[in-house]
A and B are shown apart, each in its own frame.
Chain A
Amino acid sequence: MNDLTPYLVISTTLFCLGIFAVLTRRNAISILMGIELILNACNLNFAAFSRFVTPPDDISGQIISIFGIVLAAAEAAVFLAIILAIYREFSTISPDETDTLKG
């Protein structure tokens, strides 16, 4: 494919699916998967723009993608740790049932 448009269509779809998953899922792991989809949509965007928009010798877009992948991993680690803590306290990982803080 020698055109930017398909990449953008895919990344936007991924982004929307990610947001949809975060908004509708009732399980923290599924929410985490939605967040990963959002971040991967961004990485795809950066890589595609680096290939089609910036000059061929400018790889800053790809570098940003790599940073994005690393941060997604760090975020997943923290998220899973917090999910474990939540499970210990509440014996569930649904955001709907962990609602002691209100008002």
Chain B
Amino acid sequence: MDTLNNVQSIRYFIPELILVAFAAGVIIYDLIGRQEGGRRAAHLSLAGLAAALIAVLLVGAADRSLFLGMVQLDSFAVFFKVIILITTAVTILFSMGSEELDPRTKGEYYALLLAVTLGMFLMASSTHLLMIYLSIETVSLASYILAGFLTHSPRSSEAAFKYIIYGAVASGTMLFGISLIFGLTGTGDVVQVSNVLAELFSSGGGDYQLAVLVSIIFVLAGVGYKIASVPFHMWSPDVYEGAPIPITAFLSVASKSAGFALFIRLFYSGFGSANVIESVDWSLLLAVVAALTMTVGNLAALPQQNVKRLLAYSSIAHGGYVLMGGVLLTAEGVHAILFYLIIYLFMNLGAFFVVILIAERIGSETIDGYRGLVTRAPLVAISMGIFLFSLTGIPPLSGFIGKWLLFKAVLTEEFYWLAIVGLLNSVVSLYYYVRIVKAMFLDSSDEPNPVSFSIGSRALLVVFVVPTIILGLYWTPVYQLSKASLGKILG
């Protein structure tokens, strides 16, 4: 693997530079022309994202280590960059129509979104412990502000408050773990860390086992907080409920994907590869975390009346399903994770989009607001039904294929109990998803008047529905794509 110095690297760093330029551009533009409610700023941000997407694809997966080993540009990173870009673009589209947000401050809002995108790019490609910490903080600091962006809503401020308390402690703990690893190995480069640790253990360094164990668990706290896994999930329902809905959608998809990218890179090319962690049964530990995460998420979702909060718990549960693929540190598992994240992107963003539409046109976030929706807005109701059934994992929708691959990865390694827990959880989740479907299709509404939605919203809705159905029937291209994106991550 080539390691490039700072000047040579810039050529491969153009997508990130484009994002920085556009984030700064949006701020400056917002200062000059903030009269038209941030619409132009949104267009400028979308243009920036499009330019970054083109740059990402043109630069491609060079399989090079940039900035003296700080950042790795491989197909794995490219895969996540594309997912993150799509999610951000969709979030901006959601936000443009949103009446929740103050039009006077929308420019800053878009600039912050671009900054988060940059941080997530780095999360997906960092190979140095310092860079990992910096990227997590870049994402977190901007996310705190975005979660509390509704200035006159107590809910939103409270969400930001809880988010930053949990986040600051988790990232501080992670930095402490990183400092211990740095002290044990004398280096911050993830691959070198794994080599030094392997050497340490092969030369009978049993004294260090506890220190290594503690520091890896501390680092895991930071990553676990990003993917909202038990026991670091407590922030997520409150933040998801209080934040502006586009931000909730963004956090539940992009933040989680970037967290998984970081998790995979850390554990596969870092702590996992050289069997440095053989002294502890990491697979079992991660399996327990995955099982607890999905169980807690699903059980807590059962009594929820607020659909936003219900989807927050559901996304915790989905984090647990995805983590199942990471338990075994196999190529098949990672492949299943990548595949699932693509599908999760469409169905989860789609579900949140419906929540936005209903919140704006009917003015309700609770399940009662969805009653009789099928007669009032058939397209929206049917789409929501499709998203929810796909989230449950019912064939022939795409969620089923995604889950099937995850279960298959677990079963090949004979982790039967985990697969059974996952299966039971899917059954439990059916109950709360169907509650919404029942309200939409079987209950009658007090207000029978039809609700109309703009042509743009309906088109965007169809954009989510189509892949959710199609990928359940014909998934080969995405399957191949996610397989090719594994690259050399697994050494």
Whether the pair A35, B169 counts as a contact (CB closer than 8 A) is: yes
Contact among B153, B158, B162, B183 with A45 in the assembled complex (CB-CB below 8 Å)? B183
| Set of chain A residues within 8 Å of B155, measured between Cβ atoms | 100-101
Q: Kindly state whether residue B238 has any CB partner on chain A within 8 Å.
A: yes
Task: Give Cα A90 to B165, complex, Å.
Answer: 17
Instruction: Report A25-51 CB contacts with B as 1/0, cut-off 8 Å.
Output: 000100100010011011001101100
Whether the pair B173, A38 counts as a contact (CB closer than 8 A) is: yes
Task: Give Cα A38 to B173, complex, Å.
Answer: 7
**In the complex, which residue of chain A has the Cβ closest to the Cβ of B134?**
A67
Whether the pair B176, A38 counts as a contact (CB closer than 8 A) is: yes
**In the complex, which residue of chain B has the Cβ closest to the Cβ of A87?**
B157
Whether the pair B173, A64 counts as a contact (CB closer than 8 A) is: no
Q: Kindly state whether residue B148 has any CB partner on chain A within 8 Å.
A: yes
**In the complex, which residue of chain A has the Cβ closest to the Cβ of B159?**
A101
Band of interface residues on A: 35 or more
Whether the pair B172, A18 counts as a contact (CB closer than 8 A) is: yes
| Set of chain A residues within 8 Å of B182, measured between Cβ atoms | 45-46, 49, 61, 64
Given contacts A18-B172, A64-B182, contact A82 B164 (CB under 8 A): yes
Q: Kindly state whether residue B151 has any CB partner on chain A within 8 Å.
A: yes
Task: Give Cα A74 to B138, complex, Å.
Answer: 10
Chain A interface main SS type: helix
Task: Give Cα A90 to B130, complex, Å.
Answer: 37
Q: Kindly state whether residue A17 has any CB partner on chain B within 8 Å.
A: no
Task: Give Cα A46 to B177, complex, Å.
Answer: 11
Whether the pair B169, A19 counts as a contact (CB closer than 8 A) is: yes
Q: Kindly state whether residue B186 has any CB partner on chain A within 8 Å.
A: yes
Q: Kindly state whether residue B402 has any CB partner on chain A within 8 Å.
A: no
Instruction: Report B166 CB to chain A, min CB distance, Å.
Output: 10
| Set of chain A residues within 8 Å of B187, measured between Cβ atoms | 54, 60
* B308-354 contacts to A (CB < 8 Å): 309
Whether the pair A35, B130 counts as a contact (CB closer than 8 A) is: no
Q: Kindly state whether residue A53 has any CB partner on chain B within 8 Å.
A: yes
Q: Kindly state whether residue B260 has any CB partner on chain A within 8 Å.
A: no
Task: Give Cα A78 to B161, complex, Å.
Answer: 10
| Set of chain A residues within 8 Å of B237, measured between Cβ atoms | 101, 103
Q: Kindly state whether residue A95 has any CB partner on chain B within 8 Å.
A: yes
Q: Kindly state whether residue B175 has any CB partner on chain A within 8 Å.
A: yes
Instruction: Report B229-267 CB contacts with A as 1/0, cut-off 8 Å.
Output: 000000001100110000000000000000000000000
Instruction: Report A30 CB to chain B, min CB distance, Å.
Output: 11
Total count of chain B residues near the partner, CB < 8 A: 43
* A54-73 contacts to B (CB < 8 Å): 54, 58, 60-61, 63-64, 67-68, 71
Whether the pair B169, A67 counts as a contact (CB closer than 8 A) is: no
Q: Kindly state whether residue A98 has any CB partner on chain B within 8 Å.
A: yes
Task: Give Cα A18 to B175, complex, Å.
Answer: 13
Whether the pair B154, A89 counts as a contact (CB closer than 8 A) is: yes
| Set of chain A residues within 8 Å of B158, measured between Cβ atoms | 86, 89-90, 98-101
Task: Give Cα A31 to B165, complex, Å.
Answer: 8
Whether the pair B151, A95 counts as a contact (CB closer than 8 A) is: no
Whether the pair B141, A78 counts as a contact (CB closer than 8 A) is: yes
Instruction: Report A14-27 CB contacts with B as 1/0, cut-off 8 Å.
Output: 01001100100000
Task: Give Cα A3 to B6, complex, Å.
Answer: 36
Instruction: Report B3 CB to chain A, min CB distance, Å.
Output: 15
Task: Give Cα A63 to B141, complex, Å.
Answer: 21
Whether the pair A95, B148 counts as a contact (CB closer than 8 A) is: no
Task: Give Cα A90 to B155, complex, Å.
Answer: 10
Task: Give Cα A88 to B173, complex, Å.
Answer: 30
Task: Give Cα A95 to B162, complex, Å.
Answer: 8
Given contacts A42-B176, A71-B137, contact A82 B303 (CB under 8 A): no
Instruction: Report B187-204 CB contacts with A as 1/0, cut-off 8 Å.
Output: 110000000000000000
Q: Kindly state whether residue A9 has any CB partner on chain B within 8 Å.
A: no
* B101-144 contacts to A (CB < 8 Å): 130, 133-134, 137, 141, 144
Task: Give Cα A75 to B155, complex, Å.
Answer: 21
Q: Kindly state whether residue B89 has any CB partner on chain A within 8 Å.
A: no
Q: Kindly state whether residue A10 has any CB partner on chain B within 8 Å.
A: no
B153, B160, B242 — most chain A CB neighbours (10 Å): B160
Task: Give Cα A68 to B155, complex, Å.
Answer: 31
| Set of chain A residues within 8 Å of B141, measured between Cβ atoms | 74-75, 78
| Set of chain A residues within 8 Å of B292, measured between Cβ atoms | none
Contact among B148, B188, B238 with A60 in the assembled complex (CB-CB below 8 Å)? B188
**In the complex, which residue of chain B has the Cβ closest to the Cβ of A99?**
B158
Whether the pair B180, A45 counts as a contact (CB closer than 8 A) is: yes
Task: Give Cα A103 to B303, complex, Å.
Answer: 8
| Set of chain B residues within 8 Å of A101, measured between Cβ atoms | 155, 158-159, 162, 237-238, 241-242
- Report, nearest first, the 4 A-B pairs whose CB atoms are least far apart: A38-B172, A45-B179, A49-B183, A89-B154
Q: Residues on A close to B: CB < 8 A?
A: 11, 15, 18-19, 22, 28, 31, 35, 38-39, 41-42, 45-46, 48-49, 53-54, 58, 60-61, 63-64, 67-68, 71, 74-75, 78-79, 81-83, 85-86, 88-90, 95, 98-101, 103
11 further A-B contacts with Cβ under 8 Å, apart from A64-B182, A98-B158, are A19-B169, A31-B165, A39-B172, A46-B182, A67-B134, A85-B157, A86-B157, A89-B154, A98-B157, A99-B158, A101-B238
Q: List 11 A-B contacts (CB under 8 A).
A: A39-B172, A45-B180, A48-B183, A49-B183, A64-B130, A67-B134, A82-B144, A82-B157, A82-B161, A83-B161, A86-B157
